[in-house]
Amino acid sequence: MYAALWRALPGPWPVRLAIVLALLAVTAYLLVFHVYPWVMQTFFPTPDPTFAGSDRRSSALA
């Protein structure tokens, strides 16, 4: 399968290698900065850390 993909890329092997590395970098960027955060927010929501009585603390300081 990888050989078929390698043959489908244009140019000599250094150009193919550059294309593959660029595609891997773009894929890693998209996964780390877009897909994984979306998955974590959608399927693993964090609980809200605020408390209902947090106003008492601010009024005690005033």
**Winning range, highest mean pLDDT, from 29-33, 37-41, 49-53, 57-61:** 29-33
Specify the pLDDT at position 18.
97
Contacts with 16 (C-beta within 8 Å, 6 or more apart), sequence order: 6, 9, 10
- 3-class SS at 54? coil
* pLDDT at 51 exceeding the cut of 90: no
Specify the pLDDT at position 60.
55
Q: Say how far apart CA 52 and CA 48 lie, in whole Å.
A: 11
Upper half-sphere CA count for residue 52 (Cβ side, 13 Å): 0
* pLDDT at 56 exceeding the cut of 70: no
In percent, the amount of the chain with pLDDT more than 90 equals 63
